[in-house]
Amino acid sequence: MALFDKCDEFSRWIESLKERREFFYLREFDPAASPVVSMGGKKLIMLGSNNYLGLATHPRVVEATALAVREYGTGACSSRVLTGTTGLHARLEKRLAEFKGTEDAVVFSTGFMTMMGTITALTGEGDVVLSDEFNHASIVEGCRLTGAEVRVYRHNDMSDLEEKLASCEPEQDKLIVTDGVFSMKGTLANLPGVKKLADEYDARVMVDDAHGTGAIGPSGRGTLEHFGMEGEVDLICGTFSKSLGTIGGFVGARSDVVTFLKLRSRPFIFSASPPPSSMATVLACLDVLEDEPELLARLRENTAFVKEGLSELGFRLEETVTPIIPVLIGEDSKTFQMAGGLEDEGVIVNPVVAPAVPPDSSLIRVSVMASLNTQELETALEKFGVVGRRLGII
């Protein structure tokens, strides 16, 4: 019985959060990635999805996915290293390498496995991993599981990173790992600074471009394109669960590194292959991204419209060039009240509190999609004003 005592205590704590309306998790939305969703029979405007380009519901993408299901069935029913690799998996890996400007690429079943499995495969005892303090949990978990020494540097602080690099032994192999776009605040990593230090101290660089791929850069190729640094980073990683409309993840790197990961990364070897239909989804998303640049333009127009509207209402915003717009609140209770009030008014957002952000830095995380129309955005801004004034936030 004692084994599950913590579960009972946790459940009672969750119930207390629900009573205070401070629990905004595991809500049911149908369909979840659409501009307007249904929750309990009520229609709400979605400002909390990472479907930045709207590709998860794009007709071309949906049709390509359906065709793949009819041809390949619902799953590969094996690991990639045995009988779970199809022509679609191979095609997508080649396409991703071209898209990201690397020699080769490998597809994992999830983005979380991608980061965790890459770090643990490539680093071990005697090595040093240097990780930004705001990195995603998948990176943190990889750092926890590696046998390497892990040094966490202050967020985007190049002086702190250099100090930690300089204190490494010359013979130690060093890997710097950073998000390209930090998911809670939408800020960009200082990749030029990271690369400069990596070259100076003979370190490798790994970038998780989950929120940058499809949303950042002149043609949506990601954070490296934004900085004009394509081909300059050793490992460029990402996920399909944001702009690319499905589930899975990838690493782009040198061919020998990719081969090593395919045969040495335990999450790759011992996980079931992602469904062939998901590979078809991503291939179609990449086609649409290249064929319909107006989607990226629309995403940026929508983002600018929402940022300007929130600023004019008097909300405090974190500076960002991404479709992630953090509305700074500060107090956890006010943040939950804001999220609950917006939900009542027909708008879905994500409240973010510690430990996802530093204490007393709670915020409302707004995610903009290209598929939202002007009327929906205007309505959402109107509701922000109503709830913000009611709570004394603006």
Cβ-contact 362, 332 below 8 angstroms: yes
What's the pLDDT at 356? 86
Whole-angstrom CA distances from 368 to 11, 52, 238, 325 are 33, 6, 19, 8
Q: What is the pLDDT of residues 147-206, one digit of tens each?
A: 999 999 999 999 999 999 999 999 999 999 999 999 988 999 999 999 999 999 999 999
Q: What is the pLDDT of residues 340-356, one digit of tens each?
A: 999 999 999 999 999 88
For residues 118-133, average pLDDT: 98
Q: What is the pLDDT of residues 195-226, one digit of tens each?
A: 999 999 999 999 999 999 999 999 999 999 99
For residues 373-394, average pLDDT: 98
User: pTM for the full model?
Assistant: 0.96
Percent of the chain with pLDDT strictly greater than 90: 96
What are the beta bridge partners of residue 176? Answer: 130, 205
For residues 96-101, average pLDDT: 98
Please, which residues have CB within 8 angstroms of residue 175's CB and are 6 or more apart in sequence?
119, 122, 123, 127, 128, 129, 130, 148, 203, 204, 205, 206
For residues 288-317, average pLDDT: 98
For 338-366, the three-class secondary structure string (H helix, E strand, C coil) is HHHHHHHHCEECEEECCCCCCCCCEEEEE
For residues 131-144, average pLDDT: 97
What's the pLDDT at 61? 98
What's the pLDDT at 319? 87
Instruction: Provide the annotated active-site residues.
Output: 183, 211, 242
What's the pLDDT at 1? 60
Q: Out of 75-79, 249-253, 359-363, which region has the weakest mean confidence (pLDDT)?
A: 359-363
R_g of the chain computed on alpha carbons? 21
Domains recognised in the chain with CATH numbers: 25-57+293-391 (3.90.1150.10), 59-291 (3.40.640.10)
Pick the more confident residue, 292 or 318: 292
Residue 167's identity, in one-letter code, is S
Model confidence at 318, in pLDDT bands (50, 70, 90)?
confident
